[in-house]
Amino acid sequence: MGHSTTTLNVVVLCPLLLIIFFLSPSTTSATTFPSIQAKNLFSDLNLFPRQDANIVHHHDSIVSANVNNTKKNIVERNLRFPNLVDPDGISVEDLGHRAGYYSIQHSHAAKMFYFFFKSRNNEKDPVVIWLTGGPGCSSELAVFYENGPFKIADNMSLVWNDYGWDKVSNLLYVDQPTGTGFSYSSDSRDVRHDEAGVSNDLYDFLQAFFAEHPEYVTNDFFITGESYAGHYIPAFAARVHRGNKAKEGIHINLKGFAIGNGLTNPGVQYKAYPDYALSMGIITQAESDHINKLMVPPCELAVKLCGSGGKIACTASYFVCDIIFNSILSRAADINYYDIRKKCEGSLCYDFSNMEKFLNQKSVREALGVGDIDFVSCSSTVYQAMLVDWMKNLEVGIPALLEDGINLLIYAGEYDFICNWLGNSRWVHAMEWSGQKEFVASSEVPFIVDDSEAGLLKNYGPLSFLKVHDAGHLVPMDQPKASLEMLKRWTQGTLSESGANAEILVAEM
């Protein structure tokens, strides 16, 4: 049995490696090694974590908040950030903010860090969990730069975010997979490599969280996130739904899941790179033809082999398909691949460094109860570990969720290149489910916010696709008001009504 497996891996791997060698000699350079590529991606955001991952090998620096000295799976504290600009004088209790650690049940020694922000509107609002991608980037990026309750001012004070998603929901953010953000382990075996590990950890966390907070168990529950969370979210939603059906524990009132500028079906999305780049004037027709002729077919083969060839084939397929992405970037000079309207200055595309400065302050760390654990904004170790998962198609589990009435929203900023709207639209339209024909035939209608068109929406039954205007990869950062309105309407089941009303107005005109 072992011999046949080895033979299969060799048969699968050899043509992929040959493809890499002949198509792109530059892929053998050091800059394309995963560890260096990860660090380059992180430095583009002006993030320089001191550790590659929070794998703590000395126990004297473990979190001091009684995490290891309790039989409880969850240890949390009321949270009030220092330097919070708060004109209303709200008490810590009324604020309802918490930070904590969950001792991951099916792990060797892993602890998952999380934030919980009670709704500013009503405790009965939906519970919404947010997952940041990377893979390996902490959800604090979203907390402070996208849809969290606060923004970090240049003087390191916190100011309220007028468009924080906690205005219409009870918000959960988690640092995951293990090793990311303030989450840590003393055992390197706890670093996850696939969606089974990721989704099981998240499901177990939810069970512990709702056991700790039974007052939220009956609230509607939604899963959201962006980028590589396009992998995490479908697997996590399927895990929750499977647990509900099997009555494994506390019933989680899952109503829907939303993916923003995500990577979900790489086989479709990588093929869309040259078409999107051509349509936006990033490459010429001749360059597009060259990429489509020489680079796309090997990627298609590699993705197919990943579907049947195991870890080695999937890792190799990442390098084969990444040639497409890098080939376009090599022709695009200093373009910001998260938002093609912008240029990167040297290696700097965004400056998120205030997050690291803020979270490394002694007063902040004391408020969070994280002890001496380093804050790893983005983990190159986690990034590399997930390479075997990267090219897998996570669309495959979605139709079953749609058939059971679980709502799905795919939204994408129109100027993002790395997880562009075109690739996302293609896999959504090609997805086979009972409502596919009706969804494909449905009209594209304006998404109206404040009497202006903020995007274009398609909807049928439980499936919605929204192309967001004037936004890149980070929609809640680029279009905070529109993204808040999107979340509000979607969780209330009224997302398509604005488009329907707009159609009526157009018809009347």
Catalytic machinery residues: 227, 416, 473
Strand partners, 116: 98, 172
Q: Tell me the C-alpha to C-alpha distance, in Å, between residue 138 and each of 66, 74, 236, 313.
A: 23, 19, 17, 28
Cβ count near 374 (within 10 Å): 18
SS3 call for 105: coil
The whole-angstrom separation of Cα 337 and Cα 54 is 28
- Concatenating the DSSP letter of every residue in 328-373 gives HHHTSTTB-TT-TTSB-BTTBS---HHHHHHHTSHHHHHHHT-TT-
Q: Where are the alpha helices (DSSP H) in 96-173?
A: 140-145
Give the span between the Cα atoms of 339 and 214, in whole angstroms: 41
Place of tokens 């075997």: 388
Cα(181)–Cα(376) distance, rounded to whole angstroms? 4
Round to whole Å and give the CA distance between 199 and 250. 16
Nearest Cα neighbor of 412 from 228, 226, 267, 277 is 226
Q: What is the DSSP letter of 422?
A: H
CA distances from 105 to 68, 111, 173, 205, 211 (A): 13, 9, 19, 8, 14
Under a CB-based contact definition with an 8 Å cutoff, are residues 141 and 355 in contact?
yes
- Alpha-carbon distances of 199 from 30, 142, 216, 258, rounded to whole Å: 33, 20, 21, 16
Task: DSSP for 205-233, please give it.
Answer: HHHHHHHH-GGGTTS-EEEEEEETHHHHH
Say how far apart CA 156 and CA 288 lie, in whole Å: 45
- Tell me what percent of the chain is helix, strand and coil, each rounded to the nearest 5: 45, 20, 35
Q: Angle of helix 480-492 relative to helix 495-508, nearest 10 degrees?
A: 100
Beta bridge pairs of residue 222: 128, 256
The answer for residues whose C-beta is within 8 angstroms of residue 318's C-beta and 6 or more apart is 387, 390, 391
Which amino acid does the sequence have at 213?
H
Element housing 257 (H / E): strand 254-262
